[in-house]
Chains A and B, each alone.
Chain A
Amino acid sequence: MKKICLSVLGLYIGMLAAFSQDTSQYKSRKLTFEEANFISSYYNQNGNNSAVTGGIGTEKLTDLSNSFEIKLNMWDKKERKHTFDFELGIDHYTSASSDKIDPKTISSASHADTRLYPSLNWSVENGKKGTTFGAGLSVSHEFDYTSFGMNVLFAKKTNNKSGEFSVKLQAYLDKLKLIQPVELRSYNNTYGENDYPTASRNSFSTSLSYSQIINQRLQVIFLADVIYQHGYLGLPFHRIYFKDGTESVETLPADRLKVPLGVRANYFLGDNIILRGYYRYYRDSWGLEAHTANIETSVKVTPFLSVTPFYRYYIQSAVKYFAPYEMHTSAEEYYTSNYDLSKFTSGFFGAGFRLIPPKGVFGIQHFNMLELRYGHYQKNNGMQSNIVSLNIRIK
């Protein structure tokens, strides 16, 4: 009897031991694939206030943009999650206004260009402490412009994990070729890449954010940036036509301080509707003040398909140095006829479709998500554009 009791007890302890194994999620110490995203966009615009031709003339432009992003992660011995995010982007644009830099040629060097922009970001998240530290590098290169970027970030969750504070420091060290309109060139070149003089433009920014869960349906984030730019902040092929009929190129101050403040709030209404609101106030040292308001409504037609109509309203004042075609005088220190820096309002509206079926898009297990979005943009000065974007996620 004693043996039977001991055998049953042993069996029971054995079963307990078997079922008391750690069933928490397996965390790979090796670098593992998390997800990949392919994003493609086609953009076209038109208008009649090109800065290349002094505030008059076509702004016709098309841009085909493609980027591929791959995210990998691994866990270290201290149970911290490391994420590596590599992205490679390539844009190709054609611009009718850039073609006017050298109107004597059939098609000038800048009528079309390709921009290549790889980036690598790494972050390490400590779940126990609620902290994240990260750093990243980026490069962007096109014919007349090269940019090197770097960033570091730190984020800390609140004790109850319902709030998170983050700070991100960024620097972009840019170099641009000073390609002037052909009639104003005082230098000789044979259109070789190294024959143009260059100038630098550096941007430094601090981005602060605080996100907070308000309740089971509402969360908000407050955003504040301080951005300082120094260097050649105009563009050398933006023409200026003065009142007296003479011509020059855009001249702007060498420093610009920008302070945008934003707030975003997302609310889950009922079981099928998500409201996403965003507002931004912006002011800078060139006298430009702007307000941006955006509202999106995601309607879950089924648990796996959502439709998202959106509307964005934007209003800005002009910079102190703006005046239209033939309104500047050469006695002024700074001048621009770039209508992107003029007083205007704009509206942007459209809709997105997001498909995320549990068995994968078209039944392909790893084809996790497909999102398609179209938007129409219009300024009150007549400039308008259309954009269609596609995001494919593999997981």
Chain B
Amino acid sequence: MKYIIAGIIIIVTAGSCTTVKEYQKNRLNDGEMSLGNRKVEKTELSFQSYREGASGANAGKSGGGCGCN
């Protein structure tokens, strides 16, 4: 069921795309609209990957380092 929902979201999202010209990207180019992580989140992402079993798929580091404690 969850795969069907994910598939529907992707199809609907992809189907509703419109071409946006460079001069129309003032909102998309805002610093807060970045699709990457904020630099200030760096340590948060690090401690979450140590304190939780799941990691990855957030455009960050995937492995390396101890996280022993």
Contact = CB atoms under 8 A, between A and B. Distances in A.
A219 B28 contact: yes
What is the size category of the interface that chain B forms with chain A?
A: 35 or more
Contact of A215 (B16, B38, B66): B16
B18 to A, nearest CB: 5
A98 B68 CA distance: 9
Contact of A260 (B2, B16, B32, B56): B56
Contacts of A229: 63
Pick from A98, A172, A204 the residue with the most CB of B within 10 Å. A172
B11 interface: no
Contacts of B27: 216-217, 268
B52 A314 contact: yes
Interface in B1-35: 2, 9-10, 13-14, 16-20, 24-25, 27-28, 30-35
A14 to B, nearest CB: 32
A178 interface: no
A284 B53 CA distance: 9
What is the size category of the interface that chain A forms with chain B?
A: 35 or more
A288 B54 contact: yes
Given A98-B68, A274-B30, A213 B17 contact: yes
Interface of B: 2, 9-10, 13-14, 16-20, 24-25, 27-28, 30-35, 38-44, 46-48, 50-59, 62-66, 68-69
Interface of A: 37, 39, 41, 43, 45, 52, 61, 63, 65, 67, 69, 93, 95, 97-98, 110, 115, 117, 138, 140, 142, 144-145, 147, 149, 160, 162, 170, 172, 174, 176, 203-205, 207, 209, 211-217, 219-225, 227, 229, 235, 237, 258, 260-264, 266, 268, 274, 276, 278, 280-282, 284, 288, 290, 292, 298, 300, 306, 308, 314, 316, 319, 340-341, 346, 348, 352, 354, 356, 369, 371-373, 375, 377, 379, 383, 385, 387, 389-391, 393
25 contacts: A41-B42, A98-B68, A147-B64, A147-B65, A149-B63, A170-B63, A172-B64, A207-B59, A212-B13, A212-B14, A213-B20, A213-B25, A214-B18, A215-B17, A217-B27, A227-B56, A235-B68, A261-B57, A282-B57, A288-B54, A290-B53, A314-B48, A340-B53, A389-B43, A391-B38
